[in-house]
């Protein structure tokens, strides 16, 4: 039987630059990820703000379970009968319109008001 110590391998000195290379790339990626996430959340907030100003009900469900790359940033539910593609010229998985929003449809969502727009958020995992 092997001890855990036998699984660790000594890293030669000439391989050490790979660790610093990884740290450099990781730092760049983390910065880009923050830019992407905050940019998209700002977009969702602006969409919500526009519909709230039209006296529409808006709801948001934060994605708290998986990384945004696997499960998007959350879901925006807007009172209306529009088609997402017709409004935005593209399908946006985070946005959905419903003509009548009831408790069953809005379960798990929070209602967004002008003063709670910051509740549209995503925490980087």
Whole-number Cα distances in Å, 112 to 25, 47, 49, 88, 92:
37, 11, 9, 21, 19
Residue 94, classified by CB atoms within 10 Å of its CB into exposed (0-12), middle (13-18) or buried (19+), is buried
Residues 49-71, mean pLDDT to the nearest whole number: 83
What pTM was computed for the model?
A: 0.79
Residue 5 has pLDDT above 60, yes or no: no
pLDDT in tens, 97-117: 999 999 999 999 999 999 999
Give the pLDDT score at 6. 56
């Amino acid at each position: 039987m092997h001890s855990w110590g036998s699984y660790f391998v000594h890293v030669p000195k000439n391989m050490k630059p790979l660790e610093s290379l990884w740290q450099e790339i990781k730092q760049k990626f983390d910065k880009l990820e923050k830019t992407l996430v905050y940019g998209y959340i700002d977009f969702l907030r602006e969409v919500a703000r526009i519909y709230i100003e039209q006296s529409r009900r808006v709801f948001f469900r934060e994605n708290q379970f998986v990384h945004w790359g696997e499960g998007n940033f959350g879901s925006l539910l807007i009172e209306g009968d529009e088609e997402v593609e017709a409004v935005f010229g593209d399908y946006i998985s985070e946005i959905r319109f419903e003509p009548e929003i009831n408790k069953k449809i809005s379960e798990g969502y929070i209602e967004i008001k002008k003063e709670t727009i910051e509740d549209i958020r995503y925490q980087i995992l």
